[in-house]
Structure 1
Amino acid sequence: MAELGGFTCVRDPDVRSFAAAALDWLVRDPVRNTVPAALVDGLLRDGLDPGDAVWLRVMRGGTVAGTALWTPPRAMFVSAPDPAAARFLGAYVASAPAELAGLDAVNGADGELEAFADGYGAAEVTGWRNRLHVLDTLRPPVGVPGSLAEATPADLGLVLDWVRAFGVETGTSSEQSEASAAARLAAGGLCWFWRAGGEPVSFLWRTRPVGGVVRLSAVYTPPSRRGHGYAAACVAGASARALDAGAQRCVLYTDLANPVSNRLYARLGYVPVLDGGVRKLGVPRVAA
């Protein structure tokens, strides 16, 4: 089913083709689309292109109405604020099992996933729920020992260990390719430690600005180093650096099940703008 109700679905062969057709649409709302826009921008800049990725565009006439990006084994990220487009996308995915073999979950904003699930026929809410925040007025913590320091290519092993540990703790994907992490470190300005006593004690990385928006993620402090404010200091320091370097806005996601992190970012000046999460896909309606 490639056409229904005035919508069509186009699968682009690679990230370059997808970006040429859809990146401008994504950056019209760079906060809401921070995940797909940053992914596409990063792959283009670093010269990387996952060969097993799926790049979908929902079109109405000659205009993009939604997108879906799938880089296995992660969930497919859906961006379709028009409910009719999201519903059509769900029906399209349900009708293309061979093309999307192995897809078992979708990620995105609540309203979009509800419409997607209506078109697909079976998509259950899971325990993973997140909230997107935008920095309003930065309020750095006071009295945290240490300082912000940029991670370098020599830190690749530690960065991979901590990002994977973050994935395991949060229940998100812990898979992180060495090539992707190395590209971030080589780019400069994207990976940051908070260092205290001469040692790294907390970490995060961020995206390059896309549509003026930088997203901070993978905020991780080893268990033995927690309780000293290092993560808060790292987030505040990296946010300030990003803004000083020309970013217009900083954003980040929190786990709604983690009240500690939600309170932490609120104290730093981040305010919530959008709730979302991951939904597991069941047997689609067309195949039931």
Structure 2
Amino acid sequence: MIGQFTEDMVRIFGAELGCALGFLHDIGIIHRDVKMENILLTDNGHLRLADFGLSRRLERGGRAFTICGTIQYMAPEVLSGGPYNHAADWWSLGILLFSLVHGKFPVPPEPDHSSMLRKVRNFPYEMPLSFSPSFALLITELLCKTPFRRLRTLDRFKRQTFFHGTTFDLTLLQRQPVEVILELRERPDRAAKARRGLTLSLQPLKGFDYDSLLSPPATPDTQLDAQPQMAAPLPGPALRLKPVQEKGPRREVFV
């Protein structure tokens, strides 16, 4: 076990990321690289979805075929070369939320997309006993291997039992500081690290090994050419959760 966030904290993160995906999909954009490294944090601990280097225009009903993304977050239909659509982003969100609460990925990453596809197809995604029933149900809905049965809309996401009592009004969400981020903000070495282009130390999250969790050795990312980073859809200053330190070779695959 590497370390975990609480479900209460992830509930806020999930609501904000769900709103971000719903916004993007409504305007005809698929992100295709939802992962921890592409999440920014404001001083109050709220999220910005960033790095649109792999995103593309995709209207409702459209299909994509390019194998791209970060291998341990890629939906099975992406790993197989398509066709796929916006439902692939919701799969990636499921992997992200699972990993934040459990402390490790549901399936260890493989060195190539073909091997990863075989593992994803054969893995039952049994829920850890530490998950609450409502969170386990949410993950089950997001990690459905059949895209047209998967939870793939913001409206359905909001209706999940896990989010009962949670507001999806972004203005109200912004008024609820995430305490662990406030603790990081008060660290005396914050200014010096910011000047060096580094993010804050995550010591308050004891035992949470981001390098091991986010960038396992020999895990290639399948990426397109990098594009300028953007953050959407929420305004305001942001900090990276961690410096982007990719490990292992990177390659491009076009289908």
- Fold equivalence (TM over 0.5): no
Structure having greater relative contact order (Cα 8 Å, sep ≥ 6): 2
- Looking at secondary structure, tell me which structure has more strand per residue: 1
Higher alpha-carbon Rg: 1
